Amino acid sequence: MKKISESAVRRLALYQRFLQEAASSGVDTISSGELAERGGTTSAQVRKDLSLFGSFGKRGLGYDVPELTRQIREILGIDRTWRVALVGAGKIGSALFSYRDFQQRGFRIRAVFDSDPAKVGQDWGGVAVSADAEMDAMLRAEGIEIVIVAVPAEAAQAVVDRVVKAGVQAVLNFAPVRLRVPRTVTLRNVDLTLELEGLSFALTSR
């Protein structure tokens, strides 16, 4: 498979949501123009994105909604569930834990870790908060595939080093710091302040 850019993957995920909405409204076929609007791009880009993975749709007839939905779900790997752990049971961690959309899309948080003894043992809707010291063994025992890091910036690199050592290959980082991971590990950063800076730039450069 060709190397797919992060932005192409992002667009595929947006197309997929639109397809789901369309399907639930009983729409059977959809044009590249409609998908383009949803993905914030052009029809040509939609056709190019989808052609990376094979041939979809019929010229002039548009795409078959259930079929394309199924194929994109498979491409994105969201036709299954994922075993996720959350490190950091603070405010951000707690908000992420309750985020319904994760659950609905198959991302199941199976373990939560924190170094604060006051938090360890708390019952979070069926998941008990575990001590930081138990993390390494539990990541392996639970077969965790994705780890969400929601600890303070100064603690994040040490956490991710342990997570990587425990064999986890995908990390979503919310700590406002740049983390180093081996090439075999995929790291995505959600940098909340960066988004606000994008807005301040837009307001300033008018």
Q: Is 52 in the site for its own copies (CB under 8 A)?
A: no
Instruction: Tell me how far, at minimum, the Cβ of 203 lies from its own copies, in Å.
Output: 5
User: Mapped to the 3 state alphabet, what secondary structure does the chain carry?
Assistant: CCCCCHHHHHHHHHHHHHHHHHHHCCCCEECHHHHHHHHCCCHHHHHHHHHCCCCCCECCCEEEHHHHHHHHHHHHCCCCCEEEEEECCCHHHHHHHCCHHHHHCCEEEEEEEECCCCCCCCEECCEEEEEHHHHHHHHHHCCCCEEEECCCHHHHHHHHHHHHHCCCCEEEECCCCCCCCCCCCEEEECCHHHHHHHHHHHHHCC
Distance of alpha carbon 31 from alpha carbon 162, whole angstroms: 46
Within 69-128, the residues that bind its own copies by CB under 8 A are 75-78, 82, 84, 91-92, 94-96, 98-99, 101-102, 105-107
Q: Is 167 in the site for its own copies (CB under 8 A)?
A: no
- For 86, phi then psi, to 5°, come to -115, 125
Selected from 15, 34, 38, 57, the binder of its own copies by CB under 8 A is: 38
Instruction: Tell me how far, at minimum, the Cβ of 133 lies from its own copies, in Å.
Output: 25
Instruction: Tell me how far, at minimum, the Cβ of 76 lies from its own copies, in Å.
Output: 5
Instruction: Tell me how far, at minimum, the Cβ of 60 lies from its own copies, in Å.
Output: 27
Q: Is 143 in the site for its own copies (CB under 8 A)?
A: no
Region near its own copies per CB under 8 A, out of 7-15, 23-31, 124-132, 134-142? 7-15
Q: Is 51 in the site for its own copies (CB under 8 A)?
A: no
Residue closer to its own copies, measured from CB, 59 or 100: 100
Q: Is 170 in the site for its own copies (CB under 8 A)?
A: yes
- What residue ranges bind its own copies (CB under 8 A)? 1, 4, 6, 9-10, 12-14, 17, 38, 75-78, 82, 84, 91-92, 94-96, 98-99, 101-102, 105-107, 145-146, 169-172, 176, 178, 186, 188, 190, 192-205
